[in-house]
Structure 1
Amino acid sequence: MGRHRSDPMGIARLALAGLAALAVLSLIVVGVLSLFGALDSEAEPASAPAPGAGSSSSTTTTSGKVPTVLVECVADRCPNVFLKVAGGDVLLNREMARGEQAQSFDAKVDVVLTDASTVRVHVNGVLREPGGTGERQEFTVGKEE
């Protein structure tokens, strides 16, 4: 009976294995970069701070666009602030801390404030009257044409 013998691995097989490993590594790197890009772009629309929002009665970002709604927490904690694109995605649904801001440039935004006295709200750049202590407010704001 004859003995079976393994042929030594040729240079072509080594090159092919190296290219396959390089392709897998490239796919992993592209996937990780895409994931980080997707996570970064999700966070910006709802919680991007508006420069110059302070205590002025008009709010404008550096691009010159006025947000449809800008909510700024003026108490140590602002219980459950809810912002939602009318008929669409929830932008914010959580407690906010002092100085934290949330804004939206969408055409129509539903707003629910658990304690309206703890936040300062600007609608189309105009300061909205603050609510009473512990007062819950629900309203919809629309973009001025």
Structure 2
Amino acid sequence: MGRHRNDPRGIAQMVAIGGVIVLFITLVILGGFFLYKSLPSGSDTAAVPEGAAGTTADPQAEEMPTGSLYIRAVGESSEVVVTVPGGDVLADTTLKTDEYLSFTEERTLSVTIGRPSEVEIYVHGERQDVEGEDPGYSFAVQP
């Protein structure tokens, strides 16, 4: 006693299997799309830490740096940590070539540069010579 082709349970099972296949294909396509979007595009986009108030990043900017602090990677890369008294972290990132951070703060900033020879630094618009400093060089910026 086998099932007939028009058995409602058999049709329901075929529809369910078809739905699972369509769902699987959709998930594979969406996964591929989001994987593609997460890959580096090769463009020179700048690194901006999320929630870093007062920071900007634009590798195309040709203006003279203004504000309290401006740090731009001119070499391959450098770690940069910028904090304020009390422990608030404004930036903890690795800047790569032509990426920069800019801060206009009314508070003292504590800055640590992983590889000083890889960055150029401006404090209140004046370039600071840090090229000969040791890795992990730290300094403070007064408002």
Match of 2:94 in 1: 95
Distance 1:49 1:126 in 2: 20
Q: Quote the Cα distance in structure 2 between the aligned partners of 1:140 and 1:97.
A: 22
Q: Could you say if the C-alpha distance between residues 43 and 82 of structure 1 is closer, same or farther in structure 2, counting changes exceeding 3 Å?
A: closer
CA distance in 1, matches of 2:52, 2:136: 26
Q: TM-score, normalised by structure 1?
A: 0.54
Which residue number corresponds to residue 85 of structure 1?
84
How far the C-alpha of 1:121 sits from its partner, in A, is 0.3
Q: Secondary structure at the match of 1:132?
A: coil
Kindly indicate whether the alpha-carbon contact (under 8 Å) linking 1:49 and 1:103 is maintained by their aligned counterparts in 2. no
Question: Using the alignment, how far apart are the partners of 2:53 and 2:99 within structure 1?
Answer: 13
Corresponding position of 2:139? 139
Closer, same or farther in 2 for the Cα pair 1:134/1:120, shift >3 Å?
same
For normalisation by structure 2, the TM-score amounts to 0.55
Counterpart residue type for residue 82 of structure 1: V
- Give the Cα separation in 2 of the matches to 1:90 and 1:49: 21
Using the aligned pairs only, state the percent identity: 21
Q: Is the 8 A contact 1:74 1:120 kept in 2?
A: yes
Tell me how large the CA RMSD over aligned residues is. 2.4
CA distance in 2, matches of 1:135, 1:142: 22
Q: Is the 8 A contact 2:112 2:136 kept in 1?
A: yes
CA distance in 2 between partners of 1:115 and 1:100 (Å): 14
CA drift of 1:47 comes to 3.8
Query: Is 2:72 aligned against 1:72?
Result: yes
**Contact 2:57-2:99 at 8 Å conserved across structures:** no
Aligned mates of 1:131, 1:74 — CA distance in 2:
11
**Deviation of 1:67 (Å):** 1.1
Distance 1:104 1:117, change over 3 A: same
DSSP-derived class of the 2:75 partner: coil
Amino acid at match of 1:138: S
2:52–2:91: 8 Å Cα contact kept in structure 1?
no
Contact 2:116 2:130 in 1 (8 A): yes
Structure-2 residue corresponding to 1:48: 57
Deviations 1:34-69 (A, max 9, x none): xxxxxxx8356334348335xxxx52xxxxxx3101
